[in-house]
Amino acid sequence: MSFYRSLSIRHKQIVWAWTFLTVPVLFYVVIRFYPTGNAILISFQDWNLLGERNWAGLDNYIKLWNDPVFWKVFANTFEYLIIGTPFSLVLSFIIAYHLDKTRFLHSTLRMLYFLPFMTSAVAMAWVWRWFYQGVPIGLFNNILASVGISQIDFLNSTTIALPSVLAPAIWAGLGFQVIIFMAGLRAIPTSYYEAAKIDGVGWWTVLTQITLPLLRPTMVFIVVFSSIGFLRIFDHVYNMTTNNPGGPLNSTKPLVLMIYDTAFNGFNMGYAAAQTVVLFLILLVISLAQLRLLRSD
C-alpha cells in the first residue's frame, strides 16, 4: 500500500486502468483472438474430431474450390444478400418517409412496424413455415385457393424456396431499419426544407436533391448492417427446412448452414474451418467497403 501511495497521480491511473482491464483483456485474448487464430490453423489441417490432426496444406481450400455444393451455397448466400438488401432498403425507406409525415396515431403505427424485430427468428420461422404449407394447412395457399389461383409449393420448389425462406428474415429486420431511417430523417435540419419551400420546389426535387443525399450515411449503415445479416442467414433456413436442411436440393443452403453441417454432422473440422475463413473474408471485404464509402463523404 505504501508503494501505491508513493506513486504519482499519473502512475496511479496506469495501475487502475490495467487493474480494470486485466479480466477483459484476458477474455478477448482467450475467447476471441486465440479462437480466430485456431480457426485459421485448423483450416490447414485434416481432422475429423476423433482421429489425428494432420497438416493438409491448402487441401481444404482446393477441395472447396472443386466442390460444386460449395459454389451452389456461395451463389445462394449472395442471392440472399442481393435480393434481401435492396428490398429491405427500399421498403423501409418508403415506410419511414411516409411515417415521418404522419401525425395521427404515429407511435401506434411505428409500434406495428417495429414489433416483428422483437420476435425470435426460430419461432417466426416456424410460423412462416406453417403459412407456406399446402392446402388445407397453410394460410397463403388457402388464401390463393379461395380466390381461385393454383397452389404454390413454396418450400419444395427449387426456385421459390429461397425467396420464401428470405421473406421472414426481411420482415423481421424491417422495423429496425424503419426506425433508423426515421432517426436519419429527423436529423436533417428543417432549414433545408424551409428554403426549398420558399423557392417553391416540388416534393420530388426535395426528395432527390435534399433528403436522399443527406441520408447517405444512414443508408450506408443500413446497407452494411443488413448485408452482413443476410450473408450470415442461418436460423430461418435451418428451421424452415429441418426435414432436409438447406433443401430442396441445396437450393436454400447458405454458407453458415454448410459450415454447421460439415462441422457438426460430418465432423470434418478442417474443411468446415476453411469455409469459416471464406465467410470471414467475405464479411471483411464488405466492412472495408463500408469504411471506404463513409470516408469518401
Partner 1 sequence: MTVLDIHPTTSAVLADPPVRRQRNMGQFLRWLLLFAGGIAMVMPIVYMISTSLKWPHEVYNINLVPDEPTLENYLYVLEDGRFYGWFWNSLLIATLTTVSNLFFDSLVGYTLCKFRFPGRQLVFIAILSTLMIPTEMLVIPWYLMSQSFGWLDSYWGIMFPGMMTAFGTFLMKQFFESVPDDFIEAARIDGLNEFQIWWTVAMPLVKPALAALAIFVFLGNWTAFLWPLVVTNSVEMYTIPVGLSGFGDEVDVAWELIMTGAAISTIPTLVVFLIFQRFIIRGVVMAGLKG
Least separation, in Å, of the C-beta of 159 and partner 1? Answer: 23
Residue 42 contacts partner 1 per CB under 8 A: yes
User: What's the rounded Cα separation, in Å, for the pair 286 and 85?
Assistant: 13
Using CB under 8 A as the binding criterion, the count of chain residues that bind partner 1 stands at 92
285 binds partner 1 (CB under 8 A): no
Residue among 148 and 159 whose Cβ is closer to partner 1: 148
Contact positions with partner 1 (CB under 8 A) in 82-121: 95, 98-99, 101-102, 104-105, 107-121
The residue among 93 and 128 lying less far from partner 1, judged by its C-beta, is: 128
Considering only residues 131-190, where is the footprint of partner 1 by CB under 8 A? Answer: 131, 133, 136-137, 139, 142-143, 168, 171, 174-176, 179-180, 183
Judged by CB under 8 A, the chain residues 217 through 236 that form the site for partner 1 are 221, 225, 232, 234-235
Instruction: Write down how long the chain is.
Output: 297
- Collapsing DSSP to helix, strand or coil, 55 comes out as strand
Buried b / exposed e along 100-115 (16+ C-beta atoms within 10 A): beeeeeeeeebeebee
Min dist. Cβ of residue 92 to partner 1 (A): 11
The answer to whether the beta carbons of residues 96 and 185 sit under 8 Å apart is yes
The position carrying cell 410460423 is 127
75 binds partner 1 per the rule CB under 8 A: no
Interior CA angle at 154 toward 152 and 155, to 5°? 145
- Find the shortest distance in angstroms from Cβ 235 to partner 1: 5
Query: Which among 132, 131, 119, 89 is positioned nearest to 221, based on CA atoms?
Result: 89
Task: Supply the minimum distance, in Å, between the C-beta of residue 42 and partner 1.
Answer: 7
Binding of partner 1 by 128 (CB under 8 A): yes
10 Å Cβ neighbour count for 41? 12
By CB under 8 A, residue 53 contacts partner 1: no
Residue 233-252 contact track with partner 1, rule CB under 8 A, x = bound: -xx--xx--xx---------
* Residues forming beta bridges with residue 55, ordered by sequence position: 45
Question: Looking at 59-67, 69-77, 190-198, 260-268, which segment touches partner 1 (CB under 8 A)?
Answer: 260-268
Of 40, 204, 178, 214, which is closest to residue 100 (Cα–Cα)?
A: 178
Query: Cell numbers at residue 154, please?
Result: 413454396
Residue whose cell numbers read 426515421: 182
Per rule CB under 8 A, is residue 50 in the interface with partner 1?
no
